[in-house]
């Protein structure tokens, strides 16, 4: 694999909501994609999208230049990479983990992979299912300069931005810090709208003011939690689709774990985590995370 135009043999493990669209975009870009998932329907969809379905991880990584993983959590990524990819994938194959996992596991996997001669990057994404399908994800990448340079053209086929965040684990660190900020600003945006309402303000008027004033944030101007105000968002669709509360809670918990390990005080993140945990436990885990405005 040399340079931007080179087509690669890619093993893609984890063809769920996100991985399904990402693997399809790699195939569309002309790469030879051997795909594996435990789910038969996911595998069939990948085949329809131009990937070669495989019956095991070992089968998928046969002849691979690159192995991409897009899996639910660190325990599963660890099991797949340590027990199924390393020792089976060709010597020197580049490993790209796009899952959102804890920083500590990402760093440990980088050590294990490097010791086995595999360049590796952690490359979690910003953007949801629509961005995965549309090839407009943003990748935050941790790893060496050489590993980043090798991963960049592969990631570019699945996204609109590929950013080198730093050394091993830096991609995951950037992802959870960003999403902790998002969780806290969403709750703050929701409570501001509720207070504005109680104080008799017209919500469209408050939006027009705050979106041009110092209270402006992405949660307000790109993802407004109030139906009928601002751009089209999940709020206008009964809080369906978008970014599920369960996934926000997952990222907040990862952030809390990292903060504890690093000894960093995160009082706002901690409160957001508590509020989202209660909201999920109340039966709203599948709703878009901006639906938390309903609790205020």
In the complex, least distance from residue 136 CB atom to ligand NAD, rounded to whole angstroms: 12
Rg of the chain over CA atoms, in angstroms?
A: 20
* 1, 29, 58, 76: which one binds ligand NAD (CB under 6 A): 76
Q: Are 83 and 112 in contact (CB under 8 A)?
A: no
Measuring CA to CA, how many Å separate 195 from each of 39, 152, 203, 254, 285?
Answer: 46, 45, 10, 30, 25
SS3 35: strand
Does 72 interact with ligand NAD (rule: CB under 6 A)?
yes
150/144 Cα distance (integer angstroms): 10
Q: Are 246 and 286 in contact (CB under 8 A)?
A: yes
Does 83 interact with ligand NAD (rule: CB under 6 A)?
no
Q: Are 57 and 36 in contact (CB under 8 A)?
A: yes
Does 166 interact with ligand NAD (rule: CB under 6 A)?
no
172/158 Cα distance (integer angstroms): 18
Does 125 interact with ligand NAD (rule: CB under 6 A)?
yes
Q: Is 28 a catalytic residue?
A: no
Q: According to CB under 6 A, which residues from 7 to 66 bind ligand NAD? A: 13-19, 36-39, 42
In the complex, least distance from residue 106 CB atom to ligand NAD, rounded to whole angstroms: 12
Pick the stretch among 188-196, 210-218, 242-250, 285-293 that binds ligand NAD (CB under 6 A): 242-250
Does 206 interact with ligand NAD (rule: CB under 6 A)?
no
Residues designated as active site: 175
The footprint of ligand NAD (CB under 6 A) covers 13-19, 36-39, 42, 70-72, 76, 80, 99-100, 125, 128-129, 243, 247, 250
């Amino acid at each position: 694999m040399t340079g931007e135009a080179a087509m690669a043999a890619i093993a893609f493990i984890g063809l769920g909501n996100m991985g399904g669209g990402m693997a399809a975009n790699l195939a569309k870009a002309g790469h030879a994609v051997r795909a594996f998932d435990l789910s038969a329907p996911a595998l069939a969809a990948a085949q329809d999208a131009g990937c070669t379905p495989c019956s095991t991880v070992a089968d998928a990584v046969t002849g691979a230049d690159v192995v991409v993983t897009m899996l639910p959590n660190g325990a599963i990524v660890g099991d797949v990479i340590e027990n199924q990819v390393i020792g089976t994938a060709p010597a020197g194959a580049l490993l790209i983990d796009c899952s959102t996992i804890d920083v500590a596991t990402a760093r440990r996997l980088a050590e294990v992979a490097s010791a086995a001669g595999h360049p590796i990057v952690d490359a979690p994404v910003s953007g949801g299912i629509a961005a995965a399908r549309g090839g407009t994800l943003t990748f935050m990448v941790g790893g060496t300069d050489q590993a980043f340079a090798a991963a960049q053209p592969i990631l570019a086929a699945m996204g609109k931005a590929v950013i080198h965040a730093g050394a091993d684990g830096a991609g995951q660190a950037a992802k959870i810090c960003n999403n902790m900020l998002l969780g806290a600003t969403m709750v703050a945006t929701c409570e501001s709208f509720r207070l504005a309402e109680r104080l008799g303000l017209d919500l469209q008027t408050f939006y027009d003011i705050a979106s041009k004033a110092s209270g402006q944030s992405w949660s307000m101007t790109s993802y407004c939690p109030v139906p009928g105000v601002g751009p089209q968002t999940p709020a206008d669709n009964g809080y369906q689709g978008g970014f599920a509360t369960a996934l926000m809670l997952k990222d907040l918990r990862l952030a809390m774990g990292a903060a504890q390990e690093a000894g960093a005080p995160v009082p706002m993140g901690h409160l957001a985590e508590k509020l989202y945990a209660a909201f999920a436990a109340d039966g709203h885990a599948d709703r878009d995370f901006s639906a938390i405005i309903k609790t205020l």
